[in-house]
Amino acid sequence: MGASGPWAVTDMQEALLLEPPSDVARTGRRVYVSFGVNCASLLCILGCLSTSSMVINPDPPGWSVLMMLLFVAVDLPLLCLQFVVARSHSTMRTIATRRGLVCMGLSTRRLPWPSSRSGLYPVVRRFSGRQAVIAFQVDDDGRAHQLFGVIHVGRGEQVPQMLAAVNAQLDAVWAWGVERGCAVESGRYRALTSSGEERARRRAAARLEAFRGARRGPGPG
């Protein structure tokens, strides 16, 4: 495992690997493969209909041939993309290194360590008809970046437990950075520039805090 440029191979010799649970990876692959199969089926049906039309009418109108070629030109690249995305669910991961976080999916994105633990946070999203808790990092410009592989998927009533699980992973990432002197707490909370994303961030934090409070139980009277 290596990198180029300032993210040298030596930086990867000591790293913390974060990968999605196997059931999440399988679900992601199944969703995209299913979509790709549907696209391929539609393409086959169109081909059969076009072939039958040409047999019945050897001189079809030009617009019908143009529509078929256009559909093939759009559908085939889309089909290939779906299978590439499905494959990427097997390799999505985030690697914490001394220089920052390396997020590996369809492409590789490198993020510096945030200036505060609050810059690493979970958000609740929809995922294939279920609920997912996904980890993000906010950068210095207030933009959110997904930490690939840090995700839990389940039913709606499981969201509080999933929030706690993802937050525990983020605690482990931050502790790893602090132990090595590459993560330093500034105490500054950096809000997201997107108001919708910031609301989702705060809602997840409130749900997590409520779950923690329920587990602690009532305080002494």
146 confidence band (pLDDT: 50, 70, 90): very high
> pLDDT tens digits, residue range 43-63?
666 666 666 665 666 666 665
| Domain ranges (residues) in the chain | 22-88, 93-216
Q: Are 193 and 139 in contact (CB under 8 A)?
A: no
pLDDT beyond 50 at 134: yes
Percent of the chain at pLDDT > 70 equals: 60
pLDDT at 80: 63
Q: What is the pTM of this model?
A: 0.69
Q: Which position has the higher pLDDT, 119 or 25?
A: 119
Grouping H, G, I as helix, E, B as strand and the rest as coil, residue 181 is coil
pLDDT at 5: 43
b/e for 97-113, b at 16 or more Cβ within 10 A? bbbbbbbbbeeeebbeb
> pLDDT tens digits, residue range 33-43?
565 566 666 66
pLDDT at 106: 74
Distances, alpha carbon 194 to alpha carbons 27, 58, 158, 165, 201, in Å: 29, 56, 27, 25, 11
pLDDT at 147: 95
pLDDT at 130: 85
